[in-house]
Amino acid sequence: MRRPATHLSGAPALIVLAKEPVPGRVKTRLVPPLTYAAAAELAAAALSDTILVVDRVPARERVLAFDGDVAGWLPSGWRRVAQPGGALDARLAAAFDAVGTGPALLVGMDTPQLSPTDLVGFDPSRYDACFGPAADGGYWTIGFADARNAAAAIRGVPMSSPHTGAVQLRRLQEQGMRVQILDTLVDVDTIDTAAAVAELAPHTAFAAALAVVARAA
């Protein structure tokens, strides 16, 4: 049985930025060797794992910033906000705008190996922001001691490039923020990174789903 989510006024808001796992819209870099349907199955499993972990971490509130039909994805006690149109930097900024003031931390759906420990490291009493690098040059999480500072720090950063993480970190530092660097995680982008993540977290829904689709492939 899933432990009920805990809401604490002093804890950060936790945001999951996600897209409905529809074939052809998610994890398309896994095709080939997978089919679009199989890639969507992996995306669904990754999102399920991510939500489960976030639901176990104390938070002021939990927000699912979702693109698509949220039916079946919004856990009890969470709030859904729709992602606006536009580039990823605008969607990230809008997700932080939705939580108002106070500390907030955002993750995507590409790191199903995520653990509660990865999410409780941010110390907004000592740092203005936190930054979790991804092995591919991007980042798996970003957080702010005050969510109102997110828009100026994120908008205009070029996304989905090998240099996104470096540019984003430099932007935070140029704005005079004290930045807490979190552990580096592997994003699921290719079949090789999918296999690596499944090996790191063999008991996840993602690992089970990869075993099934890999046999089919």
Banded pLDDT at 6 (limits 50, 70, 90): low
**Residue of higher predicted confidence among 5 and 169:** 169
pLDDT of 215 reads 84
HEC readout, the chain: CCCCCCECCCCCEEEEEEECCCCCCCCHHHCCCCCHHHHHHHHHHHHHHHHHHHCCCCECCEEEEEECCCCCCCCCCCEEEECCCCCHHHHHHHHHHCCCCCCEEEECCCCCCCCHHHHCCCCCCCCCEEEEEECCCCEEEEEECCHHHHHHHHCCCCCCCCCHHHHHHHHHHHCCCCEEECCCECCCCCHHHHHHHHHHCCCCHHHHHHHHHHHHC
Mean pLDDT computed over every residue of the chain: 94
**Residue of higher predicted confidence among 85 and 106:** 106
pLDDT of 106 reads 98
pLDDT of 163 reads 95
Instruction: For each of the domains in the chain, give its residue range(s) and CATH number, in order of start.
Output: 13-216 (3.90.550.10)
Q: Is the pLDDT of residue 128 over 70?
A: yes
% of the chain beyond a pLDDT of 90: 92
pLDDT of 7 reads 54
Banded pLDDT at 187 (limits 50, 70, 90): very high
Q: Is the pLDDT of residue 3 over 80?
A: no
pLDDT of 9 reads 54
What's the mean pLDDT in 64-85?
Answer: 96
What's the mean pLDDT in 170-192?
Answer: 97
Q: Is the pLDDT of residue 193 over 90?
A: yes
Give the tens place of pLDDT for each residue, 10-51.
Answer: 799 999 999 999 999 999 999 999 999 999 999 999 999 999
Q: Is the pLDDT of residue 68 over 50?
A: yes
Banded pLDDT at 92 (limits 50, 70, 90): very high
